A = this chain, B = another copy of it.
Amino acid sequence: MSREQIVAGAADMIRRRGLNATSIREVAKHAGTPLGSTYHYFPGGKNQLATEAVRLSAEIVTRVLDKKLRQGPAEGVRAFFGLWREVVAGTDFQAGCPVVAVAVEEAAHPEALAASAEAFRAWSRQLAESLEQHGVEARRAAQLATLVVGAAEGAVVMCRAQRSIQPLDDVAAELTALLESVISART
């Protein structure tokens, strides 16, 4: 089983149960590799594994965003919400965002926390740049981008707790409307 599959498995477990409930033992078992091998690939232990899991998850979202934002910020935001909707609904409300899970449980894994911060920053910046390219003033674009990322992440948490997709859909509806009005005003 390849190294990246171990990381992907770890990311999946983290987004479902959280970081602390994800043991390296279980990650190894899930990947079909012995415990010792896992430590051979990840000498940094749990910290390293969590960090790479966050980075991998962040990159997947970044790539989708990068592609969709070429069709404009509205399309990018739609895709961003679509991604989270798929994760939450596709796992029967079992999974959320691994970046959030790591950020909430911080503590003994500083590098993983830094990777979380970087993920949020990367997504926000992508959205903000796209908004700027469509005429939104820089400060406002940054604010709106943060709002989109924060609201989506918060809505994912609410959806899982309430076992309903409605929070995500509600938030997506409000934000797409808001962004459309902001962009059309500047066009």
Q: Which of A's residues lie within 8 Å of B, judged by CB?
A: 16-21, 94, 96, 99-101, 103-107, 113, 116-117, 120-121, 142-144, 146-147, 149-155, 157-158, 160-163, 166-167, 170-171, 173-175, 178
Residues of B within 8 A of A152 (CB): 150, 154
Known contacts A116-B161, A161-B113, A170-B146; A17 and B154 CB within 8 A of each other: no
Residues of B within 8 A of A107 (CB): 17-18, 21
Q: By the criterion CB–CB under 8 Å, are A18 and B17 in contact? A: no
Known contacts A146-B171, A150-B151, A162-B121; A21 and B105 CB within 8 A of each other: yes
Residues of B within 8 A of A143 (CB): 170-171, 173-174
Q: By the criterion CB–CB under 8 Å, are B103 and A160 in contact? A: yes
Known contacts A117-B162, A161-B120; A106 and B17 CB within 8 A of each other: yes
